[in-house]
Amino acid sequence: MRKVICLAVVALMIACIGCAAKRMPITQNDLKNVKGTWEGTISYGLYDVQTGPMTLEILSDKPPIAGKVTLDVPQMVSTQYAVPAGKGTRENADGKLTPQGTILWTGGGAANHSMEFYLTGENRARVFYYFLGIKGDALLTKTK
């Protein structure tokens, strides 16, 4: 019986690894296909997670890579993290291709801002960010 349980656990672990999102490296040649509008859902925080809509427009197809993020921050997130509620847009033109094949925006070198974008499939991407003490991620799909 114990062997059956162990085998089941190992099988589940292998299945989870197989289903995990795989990173597809972004190269200089890929930037023309990455450029465009990406939409999806962003999560605010790591534990008591709130979500909201996110749009990322990648505006250039060569470094430095310009990006424009539009968020609709829920009131609860606004109160918890002392950021403005409602729809807001922020642009940043300092995006760089990293050796890991991601695009990294750092907010002009600010220690408390960063956003990393990587592809997980055709027209699908994931974002990890750190902004004003808020850590979270987003799942995006290319729409234009």
Q: For 90-112, what is the HEC assignment? A: EEEEEEEECCCCCEEECCCCCCC
Which amino acid does the sequence have at 43?
Answer: S
In tens, the pLDDT along 116-128 reads: 999 999 899 999 9
Structural domains of the chain, count: 1
State residue 112's pLDDT score: 67
Q: Is residue 106 part of a domain?
A: yes
Determine, yes or no, domain membership for 17: no
User: Is the residue at 11 inside a domain?
Assistant: no
Q: How do beta strands 86-97 and 65-73 pair?
A: antiparallel
Cα 120 to Cα 33: distance, rounded to the nearest angstrom: 14
Q: Which tens digit of pLDDT belongs to each residue from 87-119?
A: 988 888 899 999 999 999 987 555 667 899 999
Query: What pLDDT does 109 receive?
Result: 57
| Assigned domain for 95 exists | yes
Does the residue 52 lie in any domain? Answer: yes
DSSP for 49-80, written as a single string: -EEEEEEEEE--SSSSEEEEEEEEE-HHHHHH
- 134 located within any domain: yes
- Top-confidence residue, 37 or 18: 37
Asked whether the bond before 64 is cis by omega within 30 degrees of 0, the reply is yes
Residue 83 lies in domain: 23-142
Instruction: Say if 6 falls within a structural domain.
Output: no
CATH number, domain with residue 33: 2.40.128.20
Whether 131 maps to a domain, the answer reads yes
